[in-house]
Structure 1
Amino acid sequence: MSQLFGEVAGAYHEARPGYPAEIVAAIRAYHGGTPDRLVEVGAGTGLATGTLLGLGAPTTCVEPDHRMARALGERFPQVEVVTAAFESADPQRQGDLPDGWFHDDIAGSGLFTDVRAPLFCRELPLDTAAYLRLVGTFSPQLRRPPALRERVLTAVGAAIDGFGGTVVLDLRTTLVLARRPA
């Protein structure tokens, strides 16, 4: 699935909402200042990277899709971009994952200590056109044949317009913080 997003890397960066600036303060509080180094996993095109660079720490971004990694490197030449998967996929996983699965995976790996996962919530209103651009970057939509993608977008757009032309997203950003044992 991680390779689907590169297909729409430019649209992905333009349509997806950014990340809350409060994550910088949360990272500083966790580390007691600026960390010596920061690793962003699944960096995509750099939506969070721009916010994270506010920390002033040397940053490495790990992104499995070479198209997303290329866009990331072009936007932020000051970061080290590693084009690789952070972990291997677990073939037993299927369907929706439970809330907090990433925290459990990281904490359960034995590779990290002091794993924390603060949650940041906010609302983001989007008009019909902005929401349709966003839907065009979702993996279920990207898996559909082009004709079906268009039918879905037409139906979703009509529904939004029928309800006043605005969708309010309830965004929840989970920041996972962890330390490597010394």
Structure 2
Amino acid sequence: MPTLPPGQSRPSAQELHRQRQMAESFGSDAERYDRARPRYPDAMVDRIVAASPGPEVLDVGCGTGIAARQFQEAGCRVLGVEPDARMAGVARRFGVEAETATFETWDPAGRTFDAVVAGQAWHWIDPVAGAAKAAQVLRPGGRLAVFWNVPQLPAAVVEAFATAYERVAPGSPFGRETLTKQSLDRNQPLLAKTADAIRGTGGFGEPEQWRFDWEWSYTRAAWLDQMPTHGPLTRLPPDRLTEVLESVGAAIDAMGGCFTVPYTTVTVVAERSGVT
């Protein structure tokens, strides 16, 4: 299995886990988030479950419970930890037990787990403190598995979207450069930093990187529904957001009203080696 080489992470200008305003903006429309955000490959969930010593799973930054429900469907008992009470409330309505706290400050009260997972959330957590807390609550042989969906937008889609963003919202974080660099290579510094923090605890075996390729087709309505759930757009004034959605919608119409996005779900996985 591929492992992540040490020493390749570079500090970013702004650590994502310090951007609390953006991190806590997703609950502004929690129901839309749950409805529109993509799920995760069943093959990944099954592999994490198979590699774990038991069914007790802690879902860090569980949001509305998207990943938690997939692990429940795979036969696990899941506890979620989520800092946004609005997101946690939706998770509970869908049958996920969720406690409201940041993972760094959350009190496990002596509880331990067979797996600690985080879907699309670990970058909002201090990587050093998060890895140490995961080591604290994992049983020996348990797995830490943190994962992200990485879209690889087709070139024609990138061009159409970038043009719309640059016209309607100059300086937007969704500009041409960002869209062009949405790739696995762009995520490698985050993955390497995550692996380095896990190594630094001294409580895990060598981190591995798993990849799962899949694709999803979007209609115009489905793509526009998920756009406002992304961090930069959650804080855009309503009138500007409407303009962005109208422009992107027109671009999708010009492409025939739908398109397919290849995704790679990349997972950093490490086994709890023992009690430190």
Matching of residue 144 in structure 1 with residue 236 in structure 2: yes
Matching of residue 85 in structure 1 with residue 106 in structure 2: no
Give the 3 Å change call, closer, same or farther, for CA 126–102 of structure 1 in structure 2.
farther
Q: Residue 6 of structure 1 aligns to which amino acid in structure 2?
A: G
Q: Work out the CA distance in 1 between the residues paired with 2:229 and 2:90.
A: 15
> For residue 76 of structure 1, what is the aligned residue in structure 2?
95
Contact residue 2 and residue 64 of structure 1 kept, 8 A: no
| Aligned-residue identity in percent | 33
Cα shift at 1:123: 0.7
Contact residue 233 and residue 241 of structure 2 kept, 8 A: yes
Matching of residue 59 in structure 1 with residue 75 in structure 2: no
Shifted more, 107-116 versus 95-104: the winner is 95-104
Q: Work out the CA distance in 1 between the residues paired with 2:238 and 2:33.
A: 17
> For residue 223 of structure 2, what is the aligned residue in structure 1?
131
Q: Residue 258 of structure 2 aligns to which amino acid in structure 1?
A: T
Q: Work out the CA distance in 1 between the residues paired with 2:68 and 2:233.
A: 25
DSSP 3-state at the match of 1:131: helix
Q: Residue 102 of structure 2 aligns to which amino acid in structure 1?
A: A
TM-score relative to the length of structure 1: 0.83
Q: Which of the numbers 261, 271, 274 marks the counterpart of 1:169?
A: 261
Cα shift at 1:173: 1.8
DSSP 3-state at the match of 1:140: helix
RMSD: 2.4
Give the 3 Å change call, closer, same or farther, for CA 63–124 of structure 1 in structure 2.
same
Contact residue 191 and residue 268 of structure 2 kept, 8 A: no
TM-score relative to the length of structure 2: 0.57
Structure 2 regions of 5+ residues with no counterpart? 1-21, 105-124, 128-177, 179-185
Q: Work out the CA distance in 2 between the residues paired with 1:112 and 1:161.
A: 52
Contact residue 119 and residue 174 of structure 1 kept, 8 A: yes
> For residue 194 of structure 2, what is the aligned residue in structure 1?
103
Cα shift at 1:23: 2.0
Q: Residue 230 of structure 2 aligns to which amino acid in structure 1?
A: F
Q: Residue 241 of structure 2 aligns to which amino acid in structure 1?
A: R
Cα shift at 1:43: 1.0
DSSP 3-state at the match of 1:172: strand
Q: Work out the CA distance in 2 between the residues paired with 1:102 and 1:40.
A: 20
Contact residue 36 and residue 225 of structure 2 kept, 8 A: yes
Q: Work out the CA distance in 1 between the residues paired with 2:201 and 2:243.
A: 46
Contact residue 6 and residue 65 of structure 1 kept, 8 A: yes
Give the 3 Å change call, closer, same or farther, for CA 63–176 of structure 1 in structure 2.
farther
> For residue 27 of structure 2, what is the aligned residue in structure 1?
6
Cα shift at 1:101: 4.6
Matching of residue 178 in structure 1 with residue 270 in structure 2: yes
Structure 1 regions of 5+ residues with no counterpart? none
Cα shift at 1:105: 5.3
Give the 3 Å change call, closer, same or farther, for CA 51–102 of structure 1 in structure 2.
farther
Q: Which of the numbers 104, 108, 113 marks the counterpart of 2:204?
A: 113
How many pairs are equivalent? 174
Q: Work out the CA distance in 1 between the residues paired with 2:193 and 2:89.
A: 25
Q: Work out the CA distance in 2 between the residues paired with 1:144 and 1:36.
A: 41
Give the 3 Å change call, closer, same or farther, for CA 101–129 of structure 1 in structure 2.
farther
**Computing the radius of gyration over CA atoms, which structure comes out larger, 1 or 2?**
2
> For residue 20 of structure 1, what is the aligned residue in structure 2?
41
Cα shift at 1:16: 1.0
